[in-house]
Structures are given as structure tokens and as C-alpha cells.
Amino acid sequence: MNSLTPTQIAAPQTTTSDFVDEAVIETLVRDFYERVRADQELGPIFAEAIPGDWEPHLQNMMAFWSSVMLKSGRFKGRPMQKHQALTAVSPQHFQRWLAIFRDSALAVCPPELGAQFIGRAERIAESLMRGMFDTPPAPCAA
């Protein structure tokens, strides 16, 4: 007879690292920035901020998301300082950024992982908005 309780035999809790790896991060980052570059509102802002070769920026963003999602410590940048230098960015741009990120995350990730990426992106946007404009972003429609 099994002496384990139902709680003891329940499926183990899953964590972000059970679903995400560097390949998923790369796919998401590349998909997101492809969408951003094609976007009429954000494309010109990003093109001005990242003239020429985008690959170093993409690699930096892969390191950023690796650090956020996998706690890899690969990212060594200063996001607030970089974003504060972008004078063409307004609070409304963050709403568009989040909408595009949400679309990318849901397109390339399983639903649970997409939701985890989106939650992190929303917290990051809130932090950047507070630092740049002293206000959090307004909730955006899913």
C-alpha cells in the first residue's frame, strides 16, 4: 500500500526554466524586432536609435532576456540610462511596444511561457516609464 498523500504524489511545480531556453529567447527576440522594424509607429524610432547593423542590439537583447528569464547574468547593460537618452519616445510608445511584444510572445511561445514573458515585459515597461516619465504605463488591451 502506498503511504504517500495526494499532495506528495502531485505533479511537481514547473518553473520558467522548464519551458524556456536560449533558443526560445532568440526566436522571440528576432520575431519581436522584425515586427518592431515593420511597425509604422515604432519602426522609425528604433531605426534612429539603432542605425546600421541590428545584430549587436539583437545579441544584447538576447542576453537581457536570458538574464531576466533564466537568471543567466549574461546582460551587463544599463537599460534605464539607455532609454532616458531616447528623446523621441513617449509614454504611448510603450503601449505599442507592449502590444507588439505580446503578439510576438503569444506567437512563438507556448501559452504559459508567453504569459510569463508578457508579465516580465509589463513590469520592465512600468519600471522604464517610472524612470523616464515618472508614470507607469496605462493598461493596454490584450
pLDDT digits over 23-56, tens only?
Answer: 999 999 999 999 999 999 999 999 988 889 999 9
- Cα separation, 142 vs 138, in Å, equals 12
| 142 within a domain of the structure (yes/no) | no
pLDDT tens for each residue of 114-126 = 999 999 999 998 9
The three cell numbers of residue 9 are 504524489
78 versus 12: the higher-pLDDT residue is 78
| 15 within a domain of the structure (yes/no) | no
| 141 within a domain of the structure (yes/no) | no
| 98 within a domain of the structure (yes/no) | yes
- Cα separation, 7 vs 37, in Å, equals 48
pTM over 0.85: no
Q: Which residues contact 68 (CB under 8 A, 6 or more apart)?
A: 75, 120, 124
Q: What is the mean pLDDT of residues 71-80?
A: 83
In the predicted structure, residue 1 carries a pLDDT above the cut 60: no
| 51 within a domain of the structure (yes/no) | yes
Give residue 27's pLDDT.
Answer: 97
CA atoms within 13 A on the CB side of 88: 9
Give residue 139's pLDDT.
Answer: 58
Q: How many residues does the chain have?
A: 142
In the predicted structure, residue 16 carries a pLDDT above the cut 70: no
Report the CATH number that the domain containing residue 118 is assigned in CATH. Answer: 1.10.490.10
| 104 within a domain of the structure (yes/no) | yes
The per-residue b/e assignment along 27-52, b for 16 or more CB within 10 angstroms, e otherwise, is ebbbbbbebbeebeebeebbeeeeee
State which residues form the domain around 126.
20-133
Q: What is the mean pLDDT of residues 73-88?
A: 72
Domain count, the chain: 1
| 99 within a domain of the structure (yes/no) | yes
